[in-house]
Structure 1
Amino acid sequence: MNKETLLFIFLLALLAAGCASQYSNRQLLELLGDMGLKTAQHEKGIVVFLPEVYFEFDSSQLTVAAQEKLSDIGSILINPRASSRHILIEGHTDSIGNSHYNERLSMNRADAVADALVAYGVNDLRITRRGYGQKYPIAPNTTPDGRDNPEGRAQNRRVEIVVVESK
């Protein structure tokens, strides 16, 4: 091959690499939605809600179903088209227990999810782990008359993944 042919091939390769741009938020929403995951657009990026990653009371152990979902999410996050995105893993608890204990437990839950994503190939340097304890419930922990609400508490024992929008 002559120099001009090599230069032409090199320029085509550069052009093709440029066409393989990063996923847009819309594309990520579609990809994750096609996997049966509940997602939402947020000012920070895409939030992935993991209903299968509810935790048993006082536990940070991932279920088999949770590991399967995290494998699916990991396959998207390791794609070069998502490689510039930062990932926030946010752990939560129900309202049983003191706030210090719940913050530690929620951090353990965030760590469990982050560690699973790392095991599926996501670079740990892209991940920030946070434990919020009982600060941000998505369901009432008690009924209106003050009785325990086990279903609501179960929903609050969760982890959310935020795929941060590239700047």
Structure 2
Amino acid sequence: MKRKASAVWNGSLKEGKGNLTTQSGALKQQMYSFNTRFGEDGTVGTNPEELIAAAHAGCFTMATGATLNGEGYIPEELSTEATLDLVFENGGYVIKGIHLELTGNVPGIDNTKFQEIAQNAKANCPVSKALSVPITLTASLVAEKAV
């Protein structure tokens, strides 16, 4: 299985803008910019870091639900907020970590078992694992046209 997303960027870092599109169509030329990524002014658009947080929240919550189901528990609701910590240090931005905050309404389970299942999902959901995998790159430069 392969999943794809694409990004297009036009212009300088601070004045430019780009768009993100996903294979599923969930994002279709969704705008992102310097302000949506690093600003706090409420600019409409998205940014790569919030998309990582959303992907992690979704994956972790599904993994928790799958394990609960496998153990015979049917959750009425699982809700996760993922907070990604992006900091500027040593001249660049660094993702320092992600905090997952899970709230579950799961009939018949005790807290010890719930904690065990949540920790297992945190360690083993595909997005958790992906955040430390090797990344490969192919880069192609389009030749400038003669004027």
TM-score (norm 2): 0.31
Greater helix fraction, Structure 1 or Structure 2: 1
Which structure's residues are more often strand, by fraction? 2
* Higher RCO, 1 vs 2 (CA within 8 Å, ≥6 residues apart): 1
